Amino acid sequence: MKKGMVFLLAGVLLVSSLALVSCGSPEQTLISRYIQAVNMNDKDTLTKIAPNPVAVALTKWKIVEKTQPREKKVSLADLKKRVVEAKKKMEELQQEAALAKIDFDDFAKKYDKWSWALKRRNKKKYEELKSKYEELKKQFLAARDEYNKVVEEFTFEKKLQALSVGDIPELEKMAGKAYEEEIVIEGTDKNGKVRRFKFYLVRYELTKPGATQPIRGRWVVRKIEEIVPQEGTAAEEAAESAEEEAKEKVEKAVEGQENPPAEEPVEEPQEKQ
């Protein structure tokens, strides 16, 4: 083979290789890295891809569904503000409930020592103080649950943004856009069982305070869910088939009653000649 032909062939192979690599989207490459890290038990790589890694151990897989990326505005500063407000509300209700409990406990101690007649005259006030404390306690517990929920949301969102754009010191003051996408893959595990997983992916573009150009982050895994086939599907299909068959038989029977077979004509007797 001539030297020129060798270089030409090498060039064609190089272009072909680059074309094959470019066919894989960043999202597909991310999922491939994730599954490879799971199979190799590479925890370091997994923690850089997803906040809460899930074991997706597949020997081979393919993408079967994919949504278009959705864009939304994000701001850790706004989330942090919600955290501060939720904490303030929780602490205020905690203080009010504590004072209401003191009032009720003080009155209850005297109430327990009173005579039946005196208790009867003060029962309404006793119930009012008790009801006020129980209601404020209920509101405090609800506010505490809301506070914990917002803190969890803020912590998780901050971790996702750090994975995407990097753990930047100004991260809590940055704002921008998030692009979300869902991809469903189907593959087989080491036992040959077919399994499906839905990957919830996200990528951020955030801008530092005072900056004009955003930092373009990479795709990371927000969440993974296994799609488990519903049990009893085959049985339901068989039942539906039997029901349709029975319905068809009934319809045919009814049709036969509405259109009975025509009777053969009876020949009239002929007059004798």
73 to 205, 206, 247, 260: CA distances (angstroms) = 10, 10, 55, 72
Distance, in Å, from the CA atom of 215 to the CA atom of 176, rounded to the nearest integer, reads 9
Distance, in Å, from the CA atom of 253 to the CA atom of 234, rounded to the nearest integer, reads 29
Beta bridge partners, 186, equal: 62, 196
pLDDT of residue 21: 36
pLDDT of residue 46: 95
SS3 265: coil
pTM assigned to the model: 0.71
Phi-psi region of 220 (alpha: psi -120 to 50; beta: other; left: phi over 0): beta
pLDDT of residue 231: 64
CB atoms within 10 A of CB 208: 17
Which residues in the chain show pLDDT less than 50? Answer: 1-23, 233-235, 250, 254, 258, 261-273
pLDDT of residue 224: 96
Condensed to tens digits (0 to 9), the pLDDT of residues 240-259 reads: 565 666 566 645 654 555 45
| Residue 76 exposed, middle or buried by CB count within 10 Å (0-12, 13-18, 19+) | buried
